[in-house]
A and B are shown apart, each in its own frame.
Chain A
Amino acid sequence: MNKKKLAVWKFASCDGCQLSILDCEDELLTLAAQIEIAYFPEATKTIIEGPYDISLVEGSVTTPHDAIQILEIRKNSKFLISIGACATSGGIQALRNYVKVSEYIKAVYASPEYIDTLETSTAIADHVKVDYELRGCPINKYQLLEVLSSYLHGKKPTVPDHSVCLECKLNGNPCVAVTRDLPCLGPVTQAGCGALCPHYYRGCFGCYGPKENPNTEALASYLSQNLVDDHTILGLFRNFNAGSPAFSKESKNYEKQ
């Protein structure tokens, strides 16, 4: 069998999504039997030259070098999948999009002249055409396997874009917003984590980014009128998916004037 060549790339990120691949453990050998892992520095020193059939791209674009490298990767990849909140919305480091980066550099680094960085942290899709975006901070390994298996077998991946609420209900979690008055992003966040935080009596942190058709405005205004102060609402939307268009727009409504 002519195995498909897989490459795994890293941009600005914590490596957690790449670890999710290694986390596949039991399925990893089966995966390696079906796919040739051609480039994956986090797992192996062996490098097989491109072009690649599939590229998994982790991380966001934060430097001029990144912006050039992602164009090269796109040229070398038949199918490009961005994985995780950094790659799909800019990640937590997209908080820089709301401040003056040059001032932070001056404050943090002894020799700011050595720092060559962009003013923003942006998603891979802001730079090149992306064939599939897999959300999450980190991604869910079962969803990743589902996406890879769907690619190999020519089917649409089963990765629903509905709310986290639906997962809570399927799993039998009583709503933490209704029973505990917790600010929860579940109603505007895409499912995929299995409603992990509400299961442990925490509101959803929005790790999977905005769901299809999110009404962030209605949720934020309800929270503001009934449960929490504006600063807390700002914090809710300025998190792992701070750079996603829906959360970004909503967060701006709660910035101090």
Chain B
Amino acid sequence: MAKHHAFRTDIKGLISLFSQLSGQGYSQIGPLVRDGAIMLGEIQSFDDLAQGYTDEQAQGHYRIKPIPNKGLFQYAVGPQSFKQYLHPPRRKLWSTNGTNQNFTVETGDKPQKMVFWGVRSCDLEAIKILDRVFLEGAFVNKWYQQAREQLLIIAASCPLPSANCFCTSTHTGPKPESGFDLGVHEISGNNGIYYLIETGSQKGEKLIKKLQLQWASAEELESMERMIEKAASSMKKRFEPTEAAELLKKTLEHKYWDEVGNRCLSCANCTMVCPTCFCTSTEDITDITGEHSERWLRWDSCFNGDFSYIQGGKVRGSTPARYRQWMTHKLSYWYHQFGTSGCVGCGRCVTWCPVGIDITEGLEELAR
């Protein structure tokens, strides 16, 4: 077993961390209960955080329910991911006022200074993937860069993965290993819930110092390891990402693409909920006078016809072609483009598909 150091606290330590961050001008974003789901939103007071809930997920199915355990993290990921704060669904790039001869240009809003609460390991790895997409290479997304530089991440391990989770396959969880400022582990002990906190950055160490917490005991650290092992072994969906990447290269003409194309609605839900899908379109809007124009960035999807429309038509007109594009990019070509798989095993695409298409089952079909 790896040697760990962690601090120990009850919920009061987290509440005082929340107050400390409020005083530092952070906009605090975290999971909350809204419209029958664990959603993400701005946490005005610590009580806003989802507490005492768990979820039930299956293919095309999601429910939350209250449980006796008053923990903060007893559910898996909901439909939204932190992507929406680093790479917003709609963002004004710029606007212009005036005529052709005389006009001014204004850029859109700047990102806020944010803290993310309860980032699960899969979503943490997804942020690392978005970092490679937006920060590496010739074109740096300045808005993302600024949001990212100001960001503070409080990660949380997953005590109860859902039936659609498969982060053990993608080697992205259930324990946050790096890339956070503070890592929180919620342990349901015999005498109630307590939290172990690991630090992952200097920013995190500075914050924790002010809380004046005790070190966790060896026994408590063992409880954490047991919780994580239990969570890991509860995940039943399996595949090996590097094998999947190779398999997909060899199965471009497989009959599965037509089969899944018959079931797929090309509604784009999977790409919207995916924490690593990053595609966008730009939209230009002009008012009736023609003197005010705006350019917006909006999430788009390889499942939309317009997305692959070029002069002469759509590159990918049929649903099988679009599904194949999505899956092969996510699981195979992503390696060539960004060095890793594009999948972090969060299972969102399985849960939020209105007809319950399961990407892991797809891989099994393709291997047949």
Do A and B associate with each other?
Answer: yes
- Please report A residues at the B interface, Cβ cutoff 8 Å: 27, 30-31, 33-34, 145-146, 148-150, 152-153, 155, 158, 160-163, 165-166, 169-170, 172-175, 177-180, 184, 186-188, 201, 212-215, 217-219, 222
With beta carbons under 8 angstroms apart, the residue of A31, A179, A188 that contacts B288 is A31
- Please report B residues at the A interface, Cβ cutoff 8 Å: 34-37, 39, 60-63, 78-80, 84, 89-90, 262-269, 272-273, 283-290, 298-301, 304-306, 317-319, 351-352, 354-356
A201 to B78, CA, bound (A): 17
| Given A27-B288, A218-B262, A174 contacting B35 (CB threshold 8 A) | yes
A184 to B298, CA, bound (A): 24
Whether A178 contacts B354 by the Cβ 8 Å rule is: yes
Q: Quick one: closest A residue to B41, CB to CB?
A: A172
A188 to B354, CA, bound (A): 11
| Given A161-B306, A162-B304, A166-B304, A186 contacting B285 (CB threshold 8 A) | no
CB distance from B298 to the nearest CB of A (A): 7
Whether A30 contacts B355 by the Cβ 8 Å rule is: no
Q: Quick one: closest B residue to A146, CB to CB?
A: B285
Residues of A within 8 A of B34 (CB): 174
Residues of B within 8 A of A150 (CB): 286
Whether A34 contacts B288 by the Cβ 8 Å rule is: yes
Q: Quick one: closest B residue to A218, CB to CB?
A: B263
Residues of A within 8 A of B289 (CB): 30, 33-34
| Given A172-B80, A175-B79, A215-B264, A165 contacting B284 (CB threshold 8 A) | no
Residues of B within 8 A of A162 (CB): 268, 300-301, 304-306
Residues of B within 8 A of A161 (CB): 304-306
Q: 6 tightest A-B contacts by CB?
A: A169-B272, A187-B267, A174-B37, A187-B265, A165-B267, A170-B89
Residues of A within 8 A of B306 (CB): 160-162, 212
Whether B299 contacts A169 by the Cβ 8 Å rule is: yes
Q: List 9 A-B contacts (CB under 8 A).
A: A163-B266, A170-B272, A172-B80, A174-B62, A175-B354, A187-B265, A187-B354, A212-B305, A214-B265
A177 to B63, CA, bound (A): 11
A149 to B288, CA, bound (A): 5
Point out which of A149, A158, A213 has the most chain B C-beta atoms below 10 A from its C-beta: A213
Whether A218 contacts B264 by the Cβ 8 Å rule is: yes
Whether A222 contacts B354 by the Cβ 8 Å rule is: yes
Whether B304 contacts A149 by the Cβ 8 Å rule is: no
CB distance from B282 to the nearest CB of A (A): 10
CB distance from A199 to the nearest CB of B (A): 9
Residues of A within 8 A of B286 (CB): 149-150, 153, 155
With beta carbons under 8 angstroms apart, the residue of B63, B269, B273, B299 that contacts A179 is B63
With beta carbons under 8 angstroms apart, the residue of A34, A152, A163, A172 that contacts B265 is A163
Whether B79 contacts A174 by the Cβ 8 Å rule is: yes
CB distance from B91 to the nearest CB of A (A): 11
Q: Quick one: closest A residue to B317, CB to CB?
A: A213
A219 to B266, CA, bound (A): 11
Q: Quick one: closest B residue to A169, CB to CB?
A: B272
A161 to B307, CA, bound (A): 11
CB distance from A79 to the nearest CB of B (A): 16
| Given A30-B288, A162-B301, A170-B90, A186 contacting B264 (CB threshold 8 A) | no
Whether B290 contacts A184 by the Cβ 8 Å rule is: no
A163 to B265, CA, bound (A): 9
Residues of A within 8 A of B287 (CB): 30, 145, 149
A43 to B352, CA, bound (A): 45
Whether A179 contacts B36 by the Cβ 8 Å rule is: yes
Residues of B within 8 A of A149 (CB): 286-288, 290
Whether A165 contacts B288 by the Cβ 8 Å rule is: no
Whether A178 contacts B284 by the Cβ 8 Å rule is: no
